Chains A and B, each alone.
Chain A
Amino acid sequence: MKIVIGEGSCGIAAGAEKVYKALAAVQDGFELGITGCIGMCFLEPIADIYNEKGLLLKRLVRVTPEDAPRIAQAVKEGDLASLGDLAIKDEDAEFLSKQTRIALRHCGLIDPEDIGSYTAGDGYKAIAKVLKEYTPEQVIEEIKTSGLAGRGGAGFPTWFKWDAARKSPGDEKYLICNADEGDPGAFMDRAVIESDPHSLIEGMLIAAYAIGASKAFVYVRAEYPLAILRLKKAIKDAEAHNILGKNILGSDFSLELRIKAGAGAFVCGEETALIESLEGSRGMPRLKPPFPAQKGYINKPSNINNVETFANVAWIINNGGEAFAAMGTETSKGTKVFALTGKIRRGGLVEIPMGLTLREVIFGIGGGIRDGKKFKAVQMGGPSGGCIPESLLDTVIDYKALSATGAIMGSGGMVVMDENTCMVNMAKFFLDFTTKESCGKCVPCRIGTKRMHEILDRITSGRGVPEDIDKLETLCTGIKDGALCGLGQTAPNPVLTTLKYFRDEYEAHINEKRCPAKECAGLRRYRIDKEACRGCTLCARKCPVGAISGSVKQPHEIDPEKCIRCGACFDVCRFGAVVCE
């Protein structure tokens, strides 16, 4: 038997490496291996037990190093039933069984550090087939049939970009993979690179062949050290197998693939800013046109796609564009990977065919909201996206339908919020982010986002005035129309969508000086419930400003004039007598 530990970044952060070491220390009569991200972050660390034929016998979840001896014992004796308490529950297993995995097809199944594990299946068969049987035009045609669109967020047809780069004059062309996954709350690309780096390489090989590039870069976020490490190894192994380098697999096609680590700038997810960064400069976007297909890296024709887009390519070649197009909706084909996080019961990586509703993903796969709380909104598309309210949960996942809500498909971050999340504060959070990440090249973004952030800060701290909402709307329109690049043009989306669906919360903050979700510290009011108070004096002792008075065993009282609303009394009260309203 073989025990395989899920060692993606999340798994390691949850303690997978320690579990691996503990098992290695008691290893006896079984093999031990690793795989990438299984996608069920809420159950990490995960240990899968396989038989000799590679069949999954049992999946153990939330394993601790202390469990290692009895796992080893059970595996040695073939008594897996004794591990019942660690086995995954049926309802949790549904998290995976309800998905359709194409981009993530190997994630959690193969060893990302072993090229043999990739080629044992259909790995590198697609590039071999392409080199033997396809002209570059035929590859582009197949991708066109599949309907694959850019998974980085904008949803631009992939074949169109490839075709433009192919037809662009010039004999030196570049292929670039955008792995600068900057949206906070999104980790799909990281998971693909950490768990299945060869499928990214294979997708890039096919794309490079199609557009006629002989040099390629993967631009990876520096915050993803494990992804960089595994990709480096994968590139080295592919070179050793003549899958990268000169005359690949005996053909006259050559490709040199290099990794460039980003240095931390959200704007570098924008393709022209990314090119600037590749050239060693500050990541400031260029005016388009010329598009990268005409003048990209060092002014040569270049094509940029996202990691997930490339991860679909080999599958499309192996299974045909039509099989891919058979999934999804009229306007959006195939599947999409989402990083489901926030106040969700079952969080992790979810890949589903386009056309499912948000409700099916959040409640069907994710299991709904944690701790019995009420769903309030789901944030999609990160700082460029928006918040979708409960009334629109039956919206289907499709580029067009999601854009109609004011949010966007985005790269795949799906952050779920419950009744305790203040939507005005959420908008402020994103504006704080875009203000810091604005590169400063154009005025509407540099100054506009700053002014918006100031207004939102004023509203959440109780100093808002009724004109603020109008001012915000004016600024939103101005920035959308005037900003140079995608970062600025979409920066108002979190404000626009929250104003559209949660206007009452803005009004409560401004007119009643009240935060309905009780999240904004400056607007909270604390009082002591005289019935519940036992007079233990703990709150009075903890209050940093001496705002609480009362004698021992007598109900206490908070002086609202002195209170600074820090919540210290609320946190320490053991009788639930301090009420926050």
Chain B
Amino acid sequence: MRETKCDLGPLRDILRDYEGDDHALIEILQRAQEHYGYLPADVIDEVSRVKGIPTAKILGVATFYTQFRLQPVGKNLIMLCKGTACHVNGADGIEKAVCEELNINDGETTEDGLFTLKTVACLGCCSLSPVMMINDETYGSLTPDKAKEILRGYKEG
């Protein structure tokens, strides 16, 4: 038996809202992730048990959609836009700078747990491209140096 690490109480509250609804798996996972920060294995097992959906199907859904995470993320989540407008305006160079500065690749978390880097398809603020979002803050018209400087700001807290 795997050790249960998280408190499933909040998840059970969420599941109660969807009693009798057989089409709500995505909404349940979204709310669970909002609470736990990611989708721990226990959460997936519990959703499976309560809703009678095989774990394989839940994992299928969780890995199909980019929003879901099976691992916890760092303290600061960097979403680096690689949409068309950002691509044309040099997003590759920004990605390289961020990777160099933090010594991680796309999808990875720094050893100190401070940053997770995720490239995304489009954040929809194309006029500010190239753009990245750190947590809820958007940084536009980036240059590689500007991006590094912003990250250093976060490192210093």
Contact = CB atoms under 8 A, between A and B. Distances in A.
A10 B124 CA distance: 8
Contacts of A279: 23
A260 interface: yes
Q: Which residue of A41, A223, A343 has the most chain B CB atoms within 10 A of its CB atom?
A: A223
Q: How large is the interface on B (under 10, 10 to 19, 20 to 34, 35 or more residues)?
A: 35 or more
B66 to A, nearest CB: 4
Nearest to A222: B67
A487 B59 CA distance: 24
A264 interface: yes
A280 B85 contact: no
Contacts of B83: 184-185
Nearest to B60: A282
Interface stretch (B1-9, B25-33, B109-117, B147-155): B25-33
A41 B138 CA distance: 14
A341 B85 contact: yes
Interface string A255-268: 00000111111100
B114 to A, nearest CB: 23
Contacts of A184: 82-85, 87, 121-122
A117 B138 CA distance: 29
Given A14-B140, A263-B68, A44 B84 contact: no
Interface string A373-416: 00000010010000000000000000000000000000001011
Nearest to B86: A184
B125 interface: yes
B139 to A, nearest CB: 8
A373 B30 CA distance: 45
A190 B125 CA distance: 10
Nearest to B63: A282
Interface string B36-59: 000000000000000000000100
Interface in A131-182: 181-182
Nearest to A182: B121
B120 interface: yes
A282 B61 contact: yes
B67 A187 contact: no
Given A342-B85, A413-B84, A429-B87, A280 B128 contact: no
B84 A415 contact: yes
B64 A13 contact: no
Interface in A280-302: 280-283, 298
Interface of A: 9-10, 12-14, 41-42, 44, 181-187, 190, 222-224, 260-266, 277-283, 298, 339, 341-343, 347-348, 379, 382, 413, 415-417, 421, 426, 429-430, 433, 437, 439
16 contacts: A14-B140, A182-B122, A222-B67, A262-B65, A266-B121, A279-B23, A280-B24, A281-B61, A282-B60, A283-B65, A298-B23, A343-B89, A415-B85, A415-B88, A426-B88, A429-B87
- Shortest Cβ-Cβ A-B pairs, 3 listed: A41-B127, A184-B83, A263-B65
